Amino acid sequence: MKNTINGIHHITAIAGNAKRNFDFYSKVLGLRMVKKTVNFDDPETYHFYYGDEYGTPGTILTFFPWANIMQGRRGARQATEIGYSVPAGSLDFWQKRLEDNNVIYNKVAEKFGERYLTFLDPDGLKFELIESKNQDNRKGWETDEIKAENAVKGFHSITITTNKMQPTADVLTKVFGYRLLEQNVNRYRFVTDAADTANIVDLVEVAGEVAGHVAGGSVHHVAFRVENEEILMQFRDKVLAHGLHITEKIDRNYFYSLYFREPGGVLFEIATDNPGFDVDEPVAELGSHLKLPAQYESRRDEIEAVLPKLD
């Protein structure tokens, strides 16, 4: 049992139209819909989970799609870019695929010795497809149009934009066990050696940057991974000892979690690997059924009637 933060568990963002979100991530990017459920606090809104075949932590991107949400704005005090790992040599495939699907993108560039392709999803959420310089043996979810040699493998990194990086860096290093790996101008790359993938956090320090607004097309929170509940609660003690407020343990059906806001303003979560996404449907059927938290099961007919149709 490793008493460590094992990289990124999942990233949750806010979207607008639910069907547009589903079509983009399951068809254009070719991710698997791992779980189709509802928001614990707003059961008439979906909560989508996309990832690899098994819903492995480190591959899970989740969305709250609110149809009439206002547009967010990237800025300081936010997680501003989501980095996905893709196979070496696949960026030409992805650039053509983005072009063919009228996706806004920038031409391939390089940082920290890695080639990457930046694009925006239909709500303006910013991504980077990155050919990692470190070996990534994860297997991406394959579709009819996207095979293993091009498929998205899972997270590479998350980028946080901040006015002052040191307080956030202190959480990463003193609480989570990350270390500063390298720096390029105002971008600081932190890594944990407890995981080989989904283990990078970039802090971009821009002193005069205006605070962003979390709404449509924005990251809601970043969740970091621990093995189980015992380790989860050990990290709760560490966060408290660092002088930050943190929630009690919350049961999210597929993992247990804690939430706190780091000094730079970004909402962090710590989430467990257990019990996993196959706790209420077999791996072969993940994402095929609408799964409701137990407290809403009696309202299934009502909820199903108001949720947007996806096909």
Q: Which pLDDT value is given to residue 1? A: 54
Domain count, the chain: 1
Q: Which pLDDT value is given to residue 2? A: 81
Is position 311 within any domain? no
Q: Which among 221, 293, 222, 228 has a CA at the least distance from the CA of 255?
A: 228
The low-confidence residues of the chain, meaning pLDDT below 70, are 1
Question: What is the span of the domain harbouring residue 104?
Answer: 8-306
Is position 1 within any domain? no
Query: Rounded CA gap, 160 and 202, in Å?
Result: 6
- How many Cα neighbours within 13 Å face the side chain of 59? 28
**Residue 235 and residue 133 in contact, taking contact as beta carbons nearer than 8 Å:** no
Is position 3 within any domain? no
Is position 2 within any domain? no
DSSP string of 7-57, one letter each residue: SEEEEEEEES-HHHHHHIIIIIS--EEEEEEEETTEEEEEEEEEESTT--T
Q: Which pLDDT value is given to residue 311? A: 83
Query: Rounded CA gap, 14 and 1, in Å?
Result: 34
CATH of residue 24:
3.10.180.10
Helices and strands per DSSP (H, E), number in the chain: 5, 16
Burial profile 184-204: b = 16 or more Cβ within 10 angstroms, e = fewer: eeebbbbbbebbbbbbbbbbb
